[in-house]
């Protein structure tokens, strides 16, 4: 179960997607720590959040300090820097934390296009992350199909389902975060291995955004649920 007093760290929260989540979680009243390789960039991003969300409970720290300060840690760095970022925070991670993998292994990482993904030995970026964390840290896959633009546009809800995958208790903790963002609905995505499907859906969505001329980003909805 998620505890509303738990702090959420967003590593790379200085970028588009992480900043969007920071804004939304702060708007819901949650405490957020923005992490960056450079603490002053994180402080600047936290000031930006406070400017848009008056009274936001937010602070900016280096990635390692941000990790140590939180119960939930969201990795929001490009795929090609994900493994190296996990290695730099390894000493700050501790058993009981939930680490969220949001990254999409777009082929841009190897100089190819954003409309396809690269294969990963472990099966998905989330499983790669899981192979790197200390024992007792649970990795959950979520938010890959949510548009950064829509997250940052605070005046509108974000019309999107979020497929959340991972071990039960940690998955439920992250599923409870989703409805804090108006419009997001969490779906139980089962085991972490399903992340490979969810990650590749983002490459499809990027192609759809281009072909249907939707720079704000499409969302996904599964039908048939109450
Ligand atoms: N943008 C979207 O619409 C979207 C949608 C779904 C999922 N995602 C996923 O969300 C994640 C973040 O996406 P984004 O668009 O926000 O990325 P981004 O803006 O390109 O980068 C996010 C942050 O990553 C850090 N970073 C950059 N180079 C790095 C390096 N060499 N080593 C370590 N950290 C580095 C930077 O933070 P500092 O310089 O402050 O350290 C940067 O602000 C990605 O994994 C992406 O696949 C994005």
The per-residue pLDDT for 54 is 97
Q: What is the pTM of this model?
A: 0.97
Lowest mean pLDDT, pick from 3-7, 56-60, 72-76: 3-7
65-122 residue pLDDT tens: 999 999 999 999 999 999 999 999 999 999 999 999 999 999 999 999 999 999 999 9
- Pocket residue to mutate for ligand 1, from 78, 129, 203, 205, most atoms within 8 A of Cβ: 78
User: Cβ distance 34 to 46 under 8 Å?
Assistant: yes
What lines the ligand 1 site, CB under 6 Å? 12, 14-18, 36-38, 41, 76-79, 81, 85, 102-104, 144, 146-148, 202
* Residue 57 CA, ligand 1 centroid: distance in Å: 22
If pLDDT is split at 50, 70 and 90, which confidence band does 4 have? confident
State the DSSP string of 114-149. Answer: TTSB---TTSSHHHHHHTTSPTTPEEEE--TTS-HH
pLDDT, tens digit, 9 for 90 and up, residues 179-210 = 999 999 999 999 999 999 999 999 999 999 99
Predicted pLDDT at 124: 98
């Amino acid at each position: 179960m998620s505890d509303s007093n738990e702090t959420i760290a967003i590593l790379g929260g200085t970028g588009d997607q992480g900043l969007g989540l920071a804004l939304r979680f702060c708007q819901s009243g949650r405490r957020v720590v923005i992490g960056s390789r450079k603490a002053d960039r994180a402080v600047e991003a936290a000031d930006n959040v406070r400017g848009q969300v008056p009274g936001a409970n937010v602070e900016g720290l280096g990635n390692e300090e941000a990790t140590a300060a939180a119960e939930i840690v969201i990795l929001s760095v490009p795929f090609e820097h994900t493994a190296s970022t996990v290695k730099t925070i390894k000493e700050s991670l501790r058993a009981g934390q939930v680490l969220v993998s949001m990254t999409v292994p777009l082929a841009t990482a190897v100089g190819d296009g954003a409309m396809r993904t690269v294969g990963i030995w472990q099966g998905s970026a989330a499983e790669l992350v899981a192979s790197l964390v200390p024992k007792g840290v649970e990795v959950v896959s979520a938010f890959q199909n949510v548009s950064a633009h829509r997250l940052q546009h605070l005046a509108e809800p974000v019309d999107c389902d979020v497929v959340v995958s991972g071990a039960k208790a940690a998955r439920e903790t992250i599923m409870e975060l989703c409805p804090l963002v108006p419009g997001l609905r969490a779906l139980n995505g089962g085991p972490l291995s399903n992340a490979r499907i969810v990650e590749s859906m983002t490459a499809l969505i990027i192609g759809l955004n281009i072909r249907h001329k939707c720079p704000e980003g499409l969302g996904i909805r599964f039908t048939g649920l109450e």
